[in-house]
Structure 1
Amino acid sequence: MLQTDRRGPAHGTARLVGLALVALHLGFVAWYATLPGDASFMADANLTPLVSIRQNLTDAGLPGLLEIARELLLLAPLGITLPLIGGQLDRPWLGSFVRTLLGGVLLATAAEALRTFSSAHLLNVDDVLLSVTGIALAHLAVVPAGRSYLRRLRDTPEADPETASPRSTGAARVRIVARGDAAARPAREA
């Protein structure tokens, strides 16, 4: 059922699905953040942006690349599910992107704080930057194209069965003509 408010149409089911997906994903992130880490070696806390990323790229080899990929992918689904909570198809892409990014910054910071307080992980600002970058990339890759596709589906006449033309269903229109009418057209119209 389509609901309308002053911001445009919203789909209630999309909001519920979005809330459920965000709750499930954040539950997974909270579980993952509390897993015990490898305490045999711990680097110092990093509050300087891009230092540990540069170190992972140059010195750590494949394990460093996997660490970067893990941080990029950890919160990336939120780039898709956070806009789903709004249920809005007619939002401007920039406003949606900014709202998603700001929410992502808050959630990435909270996840990093939880990891710092509950396991052997020390605070690293690069983990927050990579998580937010993952959220941004997922949002830009899926949400604008998905909303565009859903708007096209919504705006096509075939989407509404009451206004669909007989041609769209493949049914032919037939006109019955009396026998005595010599000027009658053929019985079938295209």
Structure 2
Amino acid sequence: MQRQGSGGSAAIRIRAAGALLLVAHLGLVAWLMLRPLDVPWVMPANLRPGATVRADLALGWPEAVRRIGEGLGLLAPLGVLLPMAHGRLLTSPVASLARTASAGALISVGVALLQTGVPGRVVDVDTLLLNTAGVVLAHLAVVPAARAALRRRKGRRASRAVREESAVQGRTPTIPRVGITPWGDALPPSSP
């Protein structure tokens, strides 16, 4: 059974590259976020949305941009890699965004839960929100345009193949139109 939008070795290569890059990125995220930190003390867990972002903004623009950018950028590649590994070319943009955002949020929650057992790491709800926002922003910035370009390319290739096939086979013969028969002529005669 073929998946929707599949066909050709190019689609298989794109899916394989997406899956490989996805695994590599998740390995990098695990290595960055699940290493123990050697710190003398640990901040308490932040369960209030926006508290860490406000504290970062209070530090001033260069430090705030760096910290918020790290939160947005950590899982942002998932916004492109998840649809790439899934490999659907013809799909609803809203459904694709919802699937990608949900998967990004679940991965972010999974990393946060795993961090609870790592020394020096604490849960921060703002990190979850920033990670998910980064996934959504990356998806919106890249995936719709990339899918449109791939669909145009596929359409051009298909029309070129049809032209080449018709040039090889010659002109397609046409059949003259046949009128519709009245019902009286089509039904067998009835007996009295």
Q: Same fold (TM over 0.5)?
A: yes
The corresponding residue for 2:16 is: 16
Give the AA of the match of 1:89.
L
> Which one has a larger percent strand, Structure 1 or Structure 2?
1
**CA–CA separation in structure 2 for the residues paired with 1:164 and 1:114:** 56
Give the AA of the match of 2:106.
L
**CA–CA separation in structure 2 for the residues paired with 1:24 and 1:159:** 37
Change (3 A) 1:19 1:54: same
Change (3 A) 1:157 1:64: closer
Deviation by residue 1:130-176 (Cα, 9 ceiling, x = unmatched): 000100000000000000000000001577456359xxxxxxxxxxx
Answer whether contact 1:157 1:164 (CA < 8 A) is retained: no
Shift, 1:34, TM fit? 2.5
Give the AA of the match of 1:37.
L
The corresponding residue for 2:172 is: none
Shift, 1:4, TM fit? 3.6
The corresponding residue for 2:129 is: 129
**CA–CA separation in structure 2 for the residues paired with 1:159 and 1:106:** 41
Matched residue of 1:118: which SS? coil
Change (3 A) 1:164 1:57: farther
Matches within 5 A, 1:48-67: 48-59=48-59, 62-67=62-67
Matches within 5 A, 1:26-45: 26-37=26-37, 39-45=39-45
Give the AA of the match of 1:42.
V
The corresponding residue for 2:181 is: none
Shift, 1:13, TM fit? 2.4
**CA–CA separation in structure 2 for the residues paired with 1:78 and 1:159:** 33
Change (3 A) 1:28 1:138: same
Matched residue of 2:6: which SS? strand
Q: Structure 1: any 5+ residue segments left out of the alignment?
A: 166-190
The corresponding residue for 2:71 is: 71
Shift, 1:114, TM fit? 2.3
Query: Structure 1 residue runs of 4+, over 4 Å off?
Result: 157-162
Matches within 5 A, 1:1-190: 4-5=2-3, 7-9=4-6, 11-37=11-37, 39-59=39-59, 62-157=62-157, 160-161=160-161, 163-164=163-164
Count of residues in correspondence between the two structures: 162
Give the AA of the match of 1:114.
L
**CA–CA separation in structure 1 for the residues paired with 2:101 and 2:112:** 16
With normalisation by structure 1, the TM-score equals: 0.76
The corresponding residue for 2:175 is: none
